[in-house]
């Protein structure tokens, strides 16, 4: 079997598993809402991997744009109009535009300096959300909004109370954003990102505007994170400052690294493992994060290319 055929079969199997998740998840102790949470957090982890895995730039502040996306969706539903598409648009724009503006200030930094500056800006936004309780609800979070049924003109789809319908709505959103992400990475711009990751000095000698490419990659990554945050607000009908905290950024990086940060689909696998293990352990012990940390260390030590890289290496040719 050729490599292309094997890849197509594997990709078809992944989408089939995702499409059938509401039916097989209860048989293995899962539930539909957990599947929606996996998809949303996988999208956030893929936004981090878009920057880290393909441009070689590590951001430890991506939760800021994820959290802004959640607040943007909540504000739209609560103060503008009871429209689910509008809430997604507002959340995406809030997270993405904030990332574009802050990216202009940090685009010339590299390595640990870039990572630390992203943490600093992320924590500034976190404390603003935490202290501005009259608007954001402070530590209690933003409440009083809920996702609304989708009005298609000829029919209405209830995603408010029907968890299965909402899961397929999230899956559709996930598929659309993943398609856009894949298209960008296969474009000349995506190839330029990889060239910068592999050798920034050589890319600069070839005439690439490195800072501009990194700023665009960072901005696109923030738009993806903002969209994931908006979806997350719809999953929970809630938004709070913890979504902007650097610890949430660390979770996204862990998901990307565990799954395989240079693999396009690695963060999906990493998010699935992270969320499912977290859901189970948190029902057993309050010290569940210790076990997550141990799992992360073991993956880094024994599977340096991530879980997906290990699976691909062991798969028959």
pLDDT digits (tens, 9 = 90+) for 263-285: 999 999 999 999 999 998 888 88
Q: What is the pLDDT of residue 92?
A: 96
Instruction: Classify residue 73: in a domain, yes or no.
Output: yes
Instruction: Classify residue 13: in a domain, yes or no.
Output: no
Q: d(Cα 199, Cα 72) in Å, to the nearest integer?
A: 37
pLDDT of 316 over the 60 cut = no
Q: d(Cα 58, Cα 135) in Å, to the nearest integer?
A: 31
Instruction: Classify residue 71: in a domain, yes or no.
Output: yes
Mean pLDDT on 4-29:
86
Q: What is the pLDDT of residue 289?
A: 86
Q: What is the pLDDT of residue 314?
A: 67
Instruction: Classify residue 87: in a domain, yes or no.
Output: yes
Mean pLDDT on 143-172:
84
- Show Cβ contacts of residue 137 under 8 Å, excluding neighbours closer than 6 positions: 143, 240
Backbone angles phi, psi at 284, to 5 degrees: -105, -40
Instruction: Classify residue 126: in a domain, yes or no.
Output: yes
Q: What is the pLDDT of residue 288?
A: 84
pTM over 0.85: yes
Q: What is the pLDDT of residue 2?
A: 65
Instruction: Classify residue 252: in a domain, yes or no.
Output: no
Q: What is the pLDDT of residue 149?
A: 86
Confidence of residue 124 (pLDDT cuts 50, 70, 90): very high
Q: What is the pLDDT of residue 112?
A: 86
Mean pLDDT on 95-118:
90
Instruction: Classify residue 19: in a domain, yes or no.
Output: no
**Count of domains in the chain?**
1
Instruction: Classify residue 306: in a domain, yes or no.
Output: no
Provide the residue range defining the domain that includes 133. 29-243
Mean pLDDT on 85-92:
95
Q: d(Cα 262, Cα 40) in Å, to the nearest integer?
A: 20
């Amino acid at each position: 079997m050729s490599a292309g055929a094997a890849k197509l079969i594997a990709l078809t199997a992944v989408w089939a598993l995702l499409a059938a998740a509401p039916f097989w998840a209860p048989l293995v102790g899962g539930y539909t809402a957990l599947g929606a949470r996996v998809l949303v957090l996988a999208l956030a982890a893929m936004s981090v991997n878009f920057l880290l895995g393909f441009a070689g730039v590590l951001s430890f502040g991506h939760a800021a744009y994820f959290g802004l996306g959640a607040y943007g969706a909540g504000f739209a539903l609560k103060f503008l109009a009871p429209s689910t598409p509008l809430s997604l648009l507002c959340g995406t724009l809030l997270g993405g535009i904030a990332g574009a503006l802050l990216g202009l200030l940090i685009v010339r930094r590299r390595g640990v300096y870039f990572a630390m500056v992203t943490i600093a800006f992320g924590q500034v936004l976190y404390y603003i959300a935490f202290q501005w309780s009259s608007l954001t609800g402070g530590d209690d979070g933003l409440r009083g909004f809920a996702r609304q049924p989708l009005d298609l003109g000829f029919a209405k789809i209830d995603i408010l109370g029907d968890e299965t319908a909402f899961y397929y709505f999230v899956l559709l959103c996930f598929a659309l954003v993943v398609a856009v992400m894949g298209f960008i990475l296969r474009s000349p711009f995506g190839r330029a990102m990889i060239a910068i990751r592999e050798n920034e000095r050589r890319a600069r000698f070839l005439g690439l505007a490195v800072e501009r490419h990194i700023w665009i990659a960072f901005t696109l990554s923030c738009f993806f994170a903002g969209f994931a945050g908006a979806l997350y607000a719809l999953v929970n009908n809630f938004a709070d400052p913890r979504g902007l905290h650097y610890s949430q950024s660390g979770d996204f990086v862990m998901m990307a690294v565990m799954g395989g940060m240079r693999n396009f689909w690695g963060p999906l696998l990493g998010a699935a493992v992270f969320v499912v293990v977290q859901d189970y352990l948190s029902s057993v012990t309050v010290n569940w994060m210790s076990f997550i940390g141990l799992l992360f260390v073991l993956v880094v030590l024994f599977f340096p290319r991530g879980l997906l890289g290990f699976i691909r290496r062991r798969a028959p040719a």
